[in-house]
């Protein structure tokens, strides 16, 4: 849990949000209530999210990577500059120049210009310049110092970025998201926490609120740096710490194997019981099934079928005889019709003679 208590956050005014009409609906899970037209932030959720941010910050600092702090608003710039210097982390408290992260090569060129002017002053080449050149270089140096002086030690892109107000620093947030850099931010009731990886719901306008949270984050960074230094001084402790995750992983694997074995044993036992029950069922079926006929009975049945086959052939023979008779019958009818026709013609001839 966070070292900060609920009362400390309450006294610092961390719970005060913006007016109801200015709220962002995405902040609804972090709002406790509305009082006199102002949204009140749930400090219990602030403590939970602050713990998560502190743990992540500590691990980043322990790994030796840099965290960039961005706070250009009046209430926050002096607080951030004063505290982040003690932790030796880069910060931006003046205007955020576009492309500071996405076009980091150009940013590095500007930082090199600034360092080259410093070298000119140290190695004696500064004295060889005329008055006009000196004036131009000093003005250039002041301009670069204002924008890039606090990030002059940042030789590569930061491992994470911390923003005080994501609405004001929307360009810095967009660049960090584009480069997939983890983002930490103070998120007020008028902001969208879904844009941030580690949102801390808190009042980002009051100087007391900003101070108490920045102090807590600086403490976690300092702890990470101290642990890193201790591990460097004690290589044996570093080895033990490196072994610890592998041992934990092995223990987890063993537990997983045991669980899998249990899962496989249970189905096997179920199969055995099913097999034991299966023979009993087969015996019941065998009892119900009728006895098979002997071979002699089969022969008798085949002998009975043979006379039936003979009868069938006899029937076919009688049917063929009937067909032959039916063919002869029309011929007889035709022969019977011819004498009748002859008699009719003879009768007509007799009538004519008369």
- What digits encode the pLDDT tens for the residues 201-230? 999 999 999 999 999 999 999 999 999 888
CB 224 within 8 A of CB 62: yes
Both tokens of residue 329?
Answer: 């019958």
pLDDT at 258 over 60: no
> Would you list the domain boundaries of the chain?
6-98+157-233, 102-142, 234-278
Highest mean pLDDT among 190-194, 284-288, 304-308: 190-194
Q: Which residues are CB-neighbours of 14 under 8 A, at least 6 positions away? A: 41, 43, 46, 202, 203, 206, 209, 212, 213
Calpha distance 308→10 (Å, rounded):
109
- Interval 10-63: pLDDT, tens: 999 899 999 989 889 999 999 998 888 899 999 999 999 999 999 999 999 999
- Interval 237-256: pLDDT, tens: 656 666 655 555 555 554 55
For residue 165, give the 3-state DSSP assignment. Answer: coil
Query: HSE (CB half, 13 Å, CA atoms) of 15?
Result: 16
Question: Taking Cα atoms as reference points, which of 197, 179, 182 lies closest to residue 103?
Answer: 179
**pLDDT recorded at residue 334:** 41
Domain 102-142 has CATH 1.10.287: yes
- Interval 124-155: pLDDT, tens: 888 888 889 989 989 988 888 888 888 888 88
Q: Which residues are CB-neighbours of 59 under 8 A, at least 6 positions away? A: 224
Question: Taking Cα atoms as reference points, which of 48, 28, 305, 344 lies closest to residue 190?
Answer: 28
**pLDDT recorded at residue 220:** 93
Question: Taking Cα atoms as reference points, which of 14, 55, 8 lies closest to residue 219?
Answer: 55
**pLDDT recorded at residue 45:** 93
pLDDT at 109 over 50: yes
Q: Give 238 or 79, the one with higher predicted confidence.
A: 79
Question: Taking Cα atoms as reference points, which of 165, 287, 277, 270 lies closest to residue 214?
Answer: 165
**pLDDT recorded at residue 163:** 95
Calpha distance 131→353 (Å, rounded):
173
**pLDDT recorded at residue 289:** 45
**pLDDT recorded at residue 39:** 93
**pLDDT recorded at residue 54:** 94
**pLDDT recorded at residue 280:** 45
pLDDT at 199 over 60: yes
**pLDDT recorded at residue 147:** 83
Domain 6-98+157-233: give its CATH code. Answer: 3.40.50.10490
Say how many residues make up the chain.
354
- Interval 301-346: pLDDT, tens: 444 444 444 444 444 444 444 444 444 444 444 444 444 444 555 5
């Amino acid at each position: 849990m966070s070292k900060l208590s609920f009362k400390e956050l309450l006294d610092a005014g961390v719970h005060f949000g913006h007016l109801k009409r200015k709220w962002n609906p995405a902040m609804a899970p972090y709002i406790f209530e509305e009082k006199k037209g102002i949204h009140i932030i749930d400090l219990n959720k602030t403590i939970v999210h602050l713990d998560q941010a502190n743990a992540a910050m500590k691990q980043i600092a322990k790994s030796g990577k840099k965290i960039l702090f961005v706070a250009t608003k009046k209430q926050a710039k002096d607080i951030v500059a004063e505290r982040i210097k003690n932790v030796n982390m880069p910060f931006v408290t003046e205007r955020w120049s576009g492309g500071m992260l996405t076009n980091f090569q150009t940013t590095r060129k500007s930082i090199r210009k600034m360092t080259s002017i410093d070298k000119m002053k140290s190695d004696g080449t500064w004295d060889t310049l005329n008055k006009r050149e000196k004036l131009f270089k000093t003005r250039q140096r002041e301009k670069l110092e204002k924008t890039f002086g606090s990030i002059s030690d940042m030789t590569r892109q930061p491992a994470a970025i911390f923003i005080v107000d994501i609405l004001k620093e929307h360009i810095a947030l967009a660049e960090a998201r584009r480069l997939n850099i983890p983002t930490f931010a103070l998120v007020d009731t008028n902001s969208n926490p879904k844009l941030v990886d580690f949102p801390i719901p808190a009042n980002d306008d009051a100087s007391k609120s900003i101070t108490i949270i920045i102090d807590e984050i600086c403490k976690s960074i300092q702890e990470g740096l101290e642990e890193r230094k201790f591990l460097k001084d004690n290589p044996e402790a570093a080895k033990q710490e490196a072994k610890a995750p592998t041992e934990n992983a092995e223990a987890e694997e063993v537990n997983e194997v045991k669980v899998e074995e249990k899962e496989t044993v249970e189905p096997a036992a179920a199969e055995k019981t099913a097999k034991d029950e299966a023979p009993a069922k087969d015996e019941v079926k065998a009892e119900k099934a009728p006895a098979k006929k002997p071979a002699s009975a089969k022969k008798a049945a085949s002998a009975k079928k043979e006379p039936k086959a003979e009868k069938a052939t006899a029937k076919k023979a009688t049917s063929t005889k009937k067909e032959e008779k039916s063919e002869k019958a029309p011929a007889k009818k035709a022969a019977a019709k011819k004498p009748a026709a002859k008699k009719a013609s003879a009768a007509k001839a007799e009538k004519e003679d008369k």
